[in-house]
Amino acid sequence: MAIGVKVLDRPIGETSYVRATLKGMALTLKHVFQEPVTVQYPEEKWSLSPRWRGTHRMLTTEDGKAKCVACGLCPTVCPANCIKLVPGEDEQGNRYPLVFEIDEFRCIFCGYCQEVCPEEAIHVGRHYENAEYSRDGFVYDLERLTAQTHPVCEMWDPADPKGE
Amino acid sequence: MTLPVLAMLQATPPQSLEVFLLATVVKLVVLFSLYLVGVALLTLAERKISAFMQDRHGPNRVGPWGLLQPAADGLKNIMKEESYPDAAYTPIFVLAPAMAFIPALLTWAVIPWGAPWDSPWGRIELSVAPLPIGFLFILAIASIGVYGIVLAGWSSNNKYSLLGGLRSSAQMISYEISMGMATIPVLLLAGNVSLEKIVEGQAGLGPLSWNAATCTIAWLVFLIAAFAETNRLPFDLPEAESELVAGYHSEYSAMKFSMFFIAEYANMVTASALMSTLFFGGWDIPFTAWDNVAPHTAIKTLLTTGLFFGKTLFWVFFYMWIRWTVPRFRYDQLMALGWKILLPVMLGYITVMASAVLALQRAGFAPSSWQFSGALLALNVVLVFALVFGLDRGRIVSPAYSRLDRRDLNRLRSVAHLERAAKTAAEAAH
């Protein structure tokens, strides 16, 4: 033989097709009486982890305005560069976002924006049903971000590592 | 000299021609409509059972528990485009699905599915055509079944289809021999080829008088051969998708494909019914002679019919159970099992059984006595153990290397050893 193939004896004496078949049949029969593991998706939904990081949500103040003060930390920290922020200022000198857009296609859902936000305004959400009819639909503007209602991610807290 | 067949035909109570014709038509319509609906539902059952075995739910969207799934599938198949390959030979290409399907239906004509009913219009036998040569009819019809598959493979003019058809013909012809052999001990015990008589012969002692107890090995061989005959896993090589796309029905679409699918299930039901009849007492209710004697009332007929279909459905379930448990055989393993194991085993077994029956009859035991059946059962238990422990250890299904001669194996091994030694020596010198 050109290459050194090992030719081994197989343990014929210990192999049994009949016994293996019967064992297999016992196994499959056992599974007939077990509960299915299927989650029937549209009716049943998987319970998400409290730290699930999904599409974003902007929290609002009591009067319905976005909490964002346009500090510019989130576009700076964003590793995917998916946040577009144009700051504005009103007569009292309060800063607010003129444009706040998140491109959910570029987003890598790292959650840095939520972590860095000093006002706890921008959050990643516990949400995963994101179908849209066009690619443009995935650029969420401020209106869309404030209109979201899904629960938000509870970020990992170094003081409470197990979330207790 | 009168032929025994004539005597048997005359033994059934006379019926008027009108009653006979009407009863036959009613039986045909009822049986075949039930049968076709049942076969359609079995496609659902297969998917459900496979799902349960894999911890899933199976189809559950169309109707309650997915019960309307077969209807939806049928509708889909009717609506789909019928495609005809350019190279196909159209007349046979169209004929083949029907040829695969019809023999499975025809077999049911002779299977008795219940106790006879003494209706106000005369006795009605519960089989469409209670032929005195029932069993031979089944063997003859079962052989026709292979044509549908072979012709489908050939007329598609596609290499995979042709290979599937060839495989199927080789496989079905090989296993038909074992299947025929497996029924000989049954015929020996019944002394008759009429299925009614075979059922009668298994009545009386409960499961002890079933042929599965008195000819166990014949039953096991029949079981294996039935799997091969119906092209079900683990012997579904004609449509082995890893090698042959879809085998003989690669080129079929829409309702013609559906016909092959239905034929597979129809064959499965037929083989299951045959197994219940030949080896598990048919419609006979065990432990009581109540159902075997007059008066043959309608309630007896219904109960025995229910029992028969219960037994049949169990074997259908068994088919599916095996399918979702055992992986497909390799082609050489299949052929080796058929020709080198089953056939010699059956030849030997027939000799043993014939000797045993002769010896027991000489010793003065009646074939219906418990001593007779018990002695045969004891013999079978011994034989099954001998077979399982004697032939199982790597010999029933041969691994590839077992075809190597022992001397060749040793030669290969020594060559490999020498090379390794030479290599080590070269490395040491270097």
Q: Which residue of A has its CA nearest to B388?
A: A18
Closest-CA distance of chain A to residue B189, Å: 28
SS (H, E, C) chain B: CCCHHHHHHHHCCCCCHHHHHHHHHHHHHHHHHHHHHHHHHHHHHHHHHHHHHCCCCCCCCCCHHHCCHHHHHHHHHHHCCCCCCCCCCHHHHHHHHHHHHHHHHHHHHHCCCCCCEEECCEEECCCCCCCCCHHHHHHHHHHHHHHHHHHHHHHCCCHHHHHHHHHHHHHHHHHHHHHHHHHHHHHHHHCCCCHHHHHHHCCCCHHHHCHHHHCHHHHHHHHHHHHHHCCCCCCCHHHCHHHHCCHHHCCCCHHHHHHHHHHHHHHHHHHHHHHHHHHCCCCCCCCCCCCCCCCCCHHHHHHHHHHHHHHHHHHHHHHHHHHCCCCCCCHHHHHHHHHHHHHHHHHHHHHHHHHHHHHHHHCCCCCCCHHHHHHHHHHHHHHHHHHHHHHHHHHCCCCHHHHCCHHHHHHHHHHHHHHHHHHHHHHHHC
Question: What's the pLDDT score for residue B248?
Answer: 80
Retrieve residue A99's tokens: 């444009």
Calculate the alpha carbon distances from B301 to B125, B126, B284, B306 in Å.
10, 8, 10, 9
In a mutational test of the B interface, the residue from A17, A29, A31, A38 whose CB has the highest number of chain B CBs within 10 Å is: A17
Tell me the chain B residues in contact with residue A21 when contact means C-beta distances shorter than 8 Å.
325-326
What is the phi/psi pair of residue A58, to 5°?
-105, 125
Q: How confident is the model at residue A79 (pLDDT cuts 50, 70, 90)?
A: very high
Tell me the chain B residues in contact with residue A31 when contact means C-beta distances shorter than 8 Å.
52-55
Contact B401 A17 (CB under 8 A): no
**Separation of alpha carbons B33 and B51, rounded Å:** 27
In a mutational test of the B interface, the residue from A5, A9, A18 whose CB has the highest number of chain B CBs within 10 Å is: A18
User: Does residue A162 belong to the interface with chain B, where contact is any CB pair within 8 Å?
Assistant: no
Tell me the chain B residues in contact with residue A1 when contact means C-beta distances shorter than 8 Å.
412, 415-416, 419
Amino acid occupying residue B144? I
Residue A2 reports pLDDT greater than 70: no
The closest of A125, A66, A122 to A94, measured between CA atoms, is A66
Q: Which residue of A has its CA nearest to B384?
A: A18
Cβ atoms A108, A79 nearer than 8 A: yes
Tens-digit pLDDT string for chain B (430 aa):
455 554 554 445 556 777 778 888 888 888 888 888 888 888 888 989 889 898 888 888 888 888 888 888 888 888 888 888 888 888 888 888 888 888 888 888 888 887 777 777 777 777 777 777 878 888 888 888 788 888 888 888 888 888 888 888 888 888 888 888 888 888 888 887 888 778 877 777 777 778 877 888 889 889 988 888 888 878 877 777 777 777 788 888 888 888 888 888 888 888 898 888 888 887 877 777 666 666 777 778 788 888 888 889 999 999 899 988 888 887 877 887 888 888 888 898 999 888 888 888 888 777 777 777 888 888 888 888 888 777 766 666 655 445 556 677 777 777 777 778 888 888 888 7
Question: Where do the domains of chain A lie, and which CATH numbers do they carry?
Answer: 54-147 (3.30.70.3270)
Question: What's the pLDDT score for residue A7?
Answer: 65
Q: Which residue of A has its CA nearest to B327?
A: A21
**Residue B6's Cα: distance from chain center in Å?**
30
For residue A143, give the H/E element and its range. helix A142-147
Name residues 30-69 of chain A within 8 A of B (Cβ). Answer: 31-32, 34-38, 40
The size of chain A, in residues, is 164
**Separation of alpha carbons A114 and B411, rounded Å:** 71
Contact B53 A17 (CB under 8 A): no
**pTM flag (> 0.80):** no
User: Does residue A26 belong to the interface with chain B, where contact is any CB pair within 8 Å?
Assistant: no
The size of chain B, in residues, is 430
Contact A36 B423 (CB under 8 A): no
Residues B67-123 pLDDT 10s: 888 888 888 888 888 888 888 888 888 888 888 888 888 888 888 887 777 777 777
Tell me the chain B residues in contact with residue A38 when contact means C-beta distances shorter than 8 Å.
55-57
Q: Let me know the angle formed at the C-alpha of B221 by B215 and B222, rounded to the nearest 5 degrees.
A: 85
Nearest CB to B409: which of A5, A7, A17? A7
Contact B394 A13 (CB under 8 A): yes
Calculate the alpha carbon distances from B219 to A77, B98, B280 in Å.
75, 30, 9
Cβ atoms B63, A45 nearer than 8 A: no
Cβ atoms B177, B224 nearer than 8 A: no
Closest-CA distance of chain B to residue A21, Å: 7
Token pair 């629960």: residue: A151
Retrieve residue B103's tokens: 């023999």
**Separation of alpha carbons B279 and B276, rounded Å:** 6
What is the phi/psi pair of residue B2, to 5°?
-100, 140
Closest-CA distance of chain A to residue B212, Å: 18
Tell me the chain A residues in contact with residue B415 when contact means C-beta distances shorter than 8 Å.
1
Calculate the alpha carbon distances from B80 to A49, B187, B213, B258, B348 in Å.
44, 47, 49, 11, 52
What is the phi/psi pair of residue A55, to 5°?
-65, 155
**Separation of alpha carbons B249 and B252, rounded Å:** 5
Contact A17 B56 (CB under 8 A): no
Region of B32 on the Ramachandran plot (φ > 0 left; ψ -120 to 50 alpha; else beta): alpha
Nearest CB to A31: which of B54, B397, B412? B54
Residues of B with CB under 8 A from a CB of A: 49, 51-57, 60, 321-322, 324-326, 388, 392-397, 399, 401-402, 409, 412-413, 415-416, 419-420, 423
The closest of B278, B284, B277, B268 to B317, measured between CA atoms, is B268
**Separation of alpha carbons B164 and B162, rounded Å:** 5
Question: What's the pLDDT score for residue B416?
Answer: 76
Q: Which residue of B has its CA nearest to A30?
A: B53
Nearest CB to A17: which of B49, B57, B397? B397
Question: What's the pLDDT score for residue B289?
Answer: 67
**Separation of alpha carbons A86 and B91, rounded Å:** 74
Residues A120-140 pLDDT 10s: 888 888 888 888 899 888 898
Q: Which residue of A has its CA nearest to B319?
A: A25
**Separation of alpha carbons A97 and A117, rounded Å:** 14
Calculate the alpha carbon distances from B141 to A7, A86, B342 in Å.
48, 83, 22
Token pair 């690619």: residue: A135
Contacts of B350 (CB under 8 A, 6+ apart): B181, B184, B185, B188
Cβ atoms B8, B190 nearer than 8 A: no
Closest-CA distance of chain B to residue A42, Å: 12
**Separation of alpha carbons A137 and A129, rounded Å:** 13
Closest-CA distance of chain B to residue A35, Å: 6
Question: What's the pLDDT score for residue B119?
Answer: 72
Contact B326 A21 (CB under 8 A): yes
In a mutational test of the A interface, the residue from B220, B324, B325, B408 whose CB has the highest number of chain A CBs within 10 Å is: B325
Helix/strand/coil for A53: coil
Residue B325: half-sphere exposure toward Cβ, Cα within 13 Å: 22
- The predicted complex's ipTM stands at 0.72
